[in-house]
A and B are shown apart, each in its own frame.
Chain A
Amino acid sequence: MTPWTFFLEHRAEILEATADHLTLVVIAMAFAVAVGVPLGMLIVHRPALRKLALGLASIFQTIPSLALFGFLIPIPFIGGIGRRTAIVALVLYALLPILRNTYVGLTGIDPAVLEAAEAMGMTESQILWRVRLPLARAVILAGIRTATIITIGVATIAAAIGAGGLGTFIFRGVAMVSDAVILAGAIPAALLAIAADLLLGLLERRLKIS
């Protein structure tokens, strides 16, 4: 059986898995952005919290994804088999690039601009909302873009704990020793990642300030 014939025969199933996969990614990214960006804003003026937050996020990133899914299963409330556990793991993975880029974007601003803002009598929060955030948005979006691509990839592993998605085909294909089945999961996942990269890249260029 060629990959192409397998794909045609199972296209409805593959499409459904792609939709599941995308749902998983979108939910995880929504949580990661909702946590990562405000946390990144918070740590600009709090060095102790900054070390803790960036350190923790880095640790999550170094745990192999399959192991992270495994670790979460026995934890009450957030663990167990299924989508919820997968989303928690994906959020932990996506956090570092978002958090780090938010922090770097907010602090990597021309010192002359920040000095002028302070000297003109802007308060710390006015500087954050009116100067730092608008100037950092392209860098923050770049972090979200990286995180999205990572999440699309890692979400394939989520099938191992019963979260569904395109990983289902990959794991099934590995078990069946069938390239066609593996590719039925791998190719749509790769296309998703490329599409997300292009779209967010386009948005990022539009937000960039010369």
Chain B
Amino acid sequence: MHYDVPSGERGVSIEMNAKTTAENTGPAIQFQDVTYSLNGSVPRTIVSDIRFSVASGQTLVLLGRSGSGKTTLLKLINSLLIPTAGQVIVRGRATTDWDPIRLRRGIGYVIQDAGLFPHFTVAQNIALVPSLEKWDAARTAARVDELLSLVGLEPAEYRSRRPHELSGGQRQRVGVARALAVDPPILLMDEPFGALDPVTRAELQREFSALARRLGKTIVFVTHDLREALLLASRIILLESGRIIVDATPQEFPRIDHPEVTAFTACLAPLPGASA
């Protein structure tokens, strides 16, 4: 009896140590045999048996055609969706054990149409999460200016504009700044450059790639554009019909012998007439 109590205590403390270590050096995000299905009149499985982990500081690109389940995986990370089976571990804890509000405030989120609040100025948009976290005005204002400069917008010129007074590329820059506001360790991006014209897109991709390397955040990036994936990724996961079919580095990826990989690499073919 006497020995049981201390050994129990030790067990707890070891477990806690393990947990702290997992949060510091273990994977930032981990999918453990995750399945997600819709319970409509006809139940439909969107993603199944998903198993992968993302190391801290890694940029993981989820690549796939429309409807392959990329966005669903992203939404499972910040608890916008709850797994039907299995669990998603974020920073050492299952998403179902997190308070969803706390979880989401620690994860930046950037979407295709930016989703800026049209009734807010650029500064108010960027300051949203800081305001929810009750930062004081001076700290918030300084952070807004810092972030505007970071994403290449002159603070004095842009901070009091409204979203409708910005171009698509500028809106997306503000979207990135807003996602970075409270310096979250994880960034989720859902085709953030998908709606931009090709020239602006290339420009933002290059800048973001440099920014991502500098910030050292864990990034999960959804796209259907292989060129973008090869530029940004430290690792690429290719999805087809809700399943992972390839998990590779950008160097390995183009050489993998799989029809879906070939279908994607075929899109990288040189311009018509360029080879002549």
Q: Which residues of A contact B (CB under 8 A)?
A: 110, 112-113, 115-123, 126, 131, 134-135, 209-210
CA distance A134 to B107 in the complex (A): 26
- What residues of B have a CB within 8 angstroms of the CB of A122 in the complex? 101, 128, 132
14 residue pairs from A and B, CB less than 8 Å apart? A110-B115, A112-B113, A112-B115, A116-B111, A116-B117, A117-B117, A118-B104, A120-B129, A120-B178, A121-B132, A134-B119, A135-B118, A135-B119, A209-B119
Answer whether A120 and B118 are a contact pair too, CB < 8 Å, given A112-B113, A115-B111: no
Q: Is the CB of B66 closer than 8 A to any CB of chain A?
A: no
- What residues of B have a CB within 8 angstroms of the CB of A120 in the complex? 104-105, 109, 128-129, 132, 178
Q: Which residues of B contact A (CB under 8 A)?
A: 78, 80, 100-105, 107, 109, 111-119, 128-129, 132, 162, 164, 178, 188
- What residues of A have a CB within 8 angstroms of the CB of B162 in the complex? 210
Asked if B129 contacts A113 (CB within 8 A), the reply is no
Answer whether A126 and B118 are a contact pair too, CB < 8 Å, given A116-B109, A119-B109, A120-B104: no
User: Nearest CB to that of A118 among chain B residues?
Assistant: B80
Assuming A113-B118, A118-B104, A210-B164, what are 17 further A-B pairs, CB within 8 angstroms?
Answer: A112-B111, A112-B115, A113-B117, A115-B80, A118-B80, A119-B80, A120-B104, A120-B105, A120-B109, A120-B178, A121-B101, A121-B104, A121-B132, A123-B101, A135-B118, A135-B119, A209-B118
Asked if A119 contacts B118 (CB within 8 A), the reply is no
Answer whether A113 and B104 are a contact pair too, CB < 8 Å, given A120-B109, A120-B129, A210-B164: no
Residue from the list A110, A121, A123, A135 in contact with B129, Cβ < 8 A: A121
- What residues of B have a CB within 8 angstroms of the CB of A118 in the complex? 80, 104
Asked if A112 contacts B114 (CB within 8 A), the reply is yes
CA distance A39 to B266 in the complex (A): 56
- What residues of A have a CB within 8 angstroms of the CB of B80 in the complex? 115, 118-119
